[in-house]
Each structure stands twice: as C-alpha cells, then as structure tokens.
Amino acid sequence: EYNKIAKAHTLIEHLENGEDIALITDAGTPGISDPGEELVAMCQEAGITVTAVPGAAACITALTISGLSTRRFAFEAFLPTDKKERQAVLNELMEETRTMIIYEAPHRLVRTLELLLATLGDRRIRICRELTKKHETVFATTISAAVEYYKEQEPKGECVLVIEGKSRQEQIEEERQKWEEMSIQEHMDYYMNQGIQKKEAMKMVAKDRGVGKRDIYQALL
C-alpha cells in the first residue's frame, strides 16, 4: 500500500521490456480491496494485457454462504476511516435494496455495527470469519443482537459483514407514510400545482396512499 504507485511504475517498465509478471497476495484476491487495483489500472493505460486466474474472494465466499439474497449485491469493502466520508457512505446505504458486503477489522467491529444499527436500523446480518479455513464461522443474527454479543465476546480475526438490503415493501411503506403525513387536499395541491389535471391528480394521490380513487373523491367532497 505505502509504495504501490512507485512500485507499479517499476513493474510497468519490466512489462514494457517484454517480461511477464504474476501478481499474487497471501490472502484474498488481488485487486479486491488491495493495492493491485492501481497496478492493473496503470497497465490498462499503458496498453499492457492483464488477465486473471479466478481464486477465492472473501466477499463472494461470504455472500454465497450467507443465506441472504445473492441476486444483487453491493460491495463496499472497508468503510472510509474519515468520519464525514464514512457517514456519507452509510447514508447512501440507507436506501440500498441490494445485499451489502463490508469488510471490517476486529478492533473496529463493535463501532461499525453500532453505526450500521443507527443508520440502517435493525437488519439481518451474517458475520463471517476465517473463510475457507479450518475454523470458518458464519454468525447468523441481527445487527442489534450482534452489537450486544460482541460487547461481551471480543471479536477475533478479519470479518466480512453481509447485510440484507431494504425490502421493496419497506420502501413502499415509508413512501406511503410520508404522503399520509399531509392532508389529502395538500396531497392534491402538490400535484395540481405542477399543472396536473384534477382527475389525473386524484389517480396519483390514490396510488401514493394505496387506496381507491373513489376514496379520494369522497374525502374531497
């Protein structure tokens, strides 16, 4: 990490002189939350061919054994260390409907779980450790329960957190609740002030509130 750019320039020179180079790491997949990312980018810019031999990736391994949805997922790696930047990322994840994957070190695990609880609310989570090794564990729990557990049990080893995304139903309910905080007339005015005809506005209000158009008509009498 500390010399990735300078070392990459040296490696590029070797490659341009006709040598072949293999990039390996002692854990995980090169380029995934790893300084190999910069080397690959520089090779692409220099027109040097890069290929990969698939290997174990902690994020994919954790996802496939989590029991949470694998169809769509968002990989965040380690959250930023800067407080403002970290909170900005967490705020973006609040509305994330995909399964989320985050890496975390043991000494920061409780703090990160507390931040996730405060930002996302209580969700199902899988805390995966020692993946593909003898003592592999997958802790299936909720974020709140995980906070309480790790306050009593000292976390050990690098962790992969797999967190369920917000359901479509949750989004619909939150949107509906937002509309219900205003009166039906205020809701109508919201659309009609945009130049929408009354009949169409009534349809839109009914859809927003999950009721029939006739209910809106009766309420406006």
Location of structure tokens 């520089």: 42
Torsion angle defined by CA atoms of residues 131, 135, 138 and 139, in that order, rounded to the nearest 10 degrees: -140
For the chain, the straight-line distance linking the first and the last C-alpha, in angstroms and rounded, comes to 68
Residue-wise pLDDT for 17-30, tens only, equals 999 999 988 777 88
- Domain range annotation of the chain: 4-45, 58-166, 169-220
Q: What is the pTM of this model?
A: 0.72
Per-chain mean pLDDT for the chain: 89
CATH architecture of the domain 58-166 equals 2-Layer Sandwich (3.30)
What is the C-alpha to C-alpha distance for residues 220 and 39, in angstroms, rounded to an integer? 65
The C-alpha angle 91, 92, 96, rounded to 5 degrees, equals 115
Residue-wise pLDDT for 31-78, tens only, equals 887 778 888 999 999 999 999 887 788 999 999 999 999 999 999 999
Residue-wise pLDDT for 161-197, tens only, equals 999 999 877 777 777 777 777 888 888 888 888 999 8
